[in-house]
Amino acid sequence: MPNGVVTPYASSKVSIPVLNYHSVTIDPGNVVVISPAKLEAQMKYLSDHGYTPISLTTFINLIEKKSVHAAPDKPVLLTFDDGYVDNVEEAMPILAKYNFPATLFMSPGMVEDAGYLNWEQVKQLQQAGWDIQPHGMTHPHLPKLSAEQQAYEITEARKLIEEKLGTQADVFCYPYGEYNQTTLKVLKDYGFRYAFTIDQGYTTNQQYPYSLKRLFINGEESLKAFINKLPKTN
């Protein structure tokens, strides 16, 4: 069991929807892209119906049952994968309007690439209340790599984020949702606390800390389909 994980199999179940977004722009037909207007409608729905997007720290405290006195109503974790430049241009202002935090899983080896955030923009997101966490250096298919290569992809991404942002970056997100036993060993050896997959479902404190589920947000789906994914009560 990794350090810091206190009650992964506690009898009392904590269940939190972790929404998985990627790019926020206009790209009809692409299910991994959501338009700014649709994201806005979803955030308005969350706001109007008493859902509370939470920081990654609050999420972990809830999963570990550390802040029961301050448990928010209908908590939701908003996550954005890959680090697209539209996250700062489109998503950040929409979330700021509702004072919603989010978590970004980025690949630091791609910050110079066209269409991706640069470090200045990543810092802007951090200042706007986004938690920044690693998604591999170059967004590789981890199971295809050697143990040494996997360790580099995982730990170098963490190191760069921690150096550039002065933050703790020990919550991983598997590129393509792919991992194997070597990946799990690297995460454990380097003291990562949690890792997110793309397995579908609410995240609970009864899941293995390195195989937390999320809910993929299909950018082509209706608001009604989005609403149907959400829990109706706490």
Minimum distance from residue 79 beta carbon to Zn ion (Å): 10
Tokens 């454990």 correspond to: 188
Residue number, 59 or 80, with CB nearest to Zn ion: 80
| Whole-number Å distance between alpha carbons of 110 and 135 | 11
Q: Are 140 and 103 in contact (CB under 8 A)?
A: no
Find the part of the chain contacting Zn ion (CB under 5 A) among 11-19, 24-32, 76-84, 194-202. Answer: 76-84
Q: What is the dihedral sign for C-alpha 197, 202, 205, 208?
A: negative
Q: Which residues lie across from 212 on neighbouring strands?
A: 196
Determine the residue with CB nearest Zn ion. 81
Residue number, 51 or 196, with CB nearest to Zn ion: 196
If one counts every other C-beta atom within 10 angstroms of the C-beta of residue 10, the result is 14
Tokens 């591999």 correspond to: 136
If one counts every other C-beta atom within 10 angstroms of the C-beta of residue 224, the result is 7
Window 86-125: contact mask with Zn ion (x via CB under 5 A):
----------------------------------------
Window 159-198: contact mask with Zn ion (x via CB under 5 A):
----------------x-----------------------
Which of residues 40, 64, 81, 170 is near Zn ion by CB under 5 A?
81
Q: Is residue 153 near Zn ion by the rule CB under 5 A?
A: no
Minimum distance from residue 199 beta carbon to Zn ion (Å): 14
Burial of 35 (0-12, 13-18, 19+ CB in 10 A): middle
Q: Are 111 and 88 in contact (CB under 8 A)?
A: no
Residue number, 82 or 86, with CB nearest to Zn ion: 82
- The DSSP code sequence of 221-234 is S-HHHHHHHS-S--
Which of residues 40, 64, 82, 170 is near Zn ion by CB under 5 A?
82
Find the part of the chain contacting Zn ion (CB under 5 A) among 11-19, 62-70, 74-82, 87-95. Answer: 74-82
| Whole-number Å distance between alpha carbons of 64 and 13 | 11
Minimum distance from residue 194 beta carbon to Zn ion (Å): 16
Q: Give the interface with Zn ion as residue ranges (CB under 5 A).
A: 81-82, 175
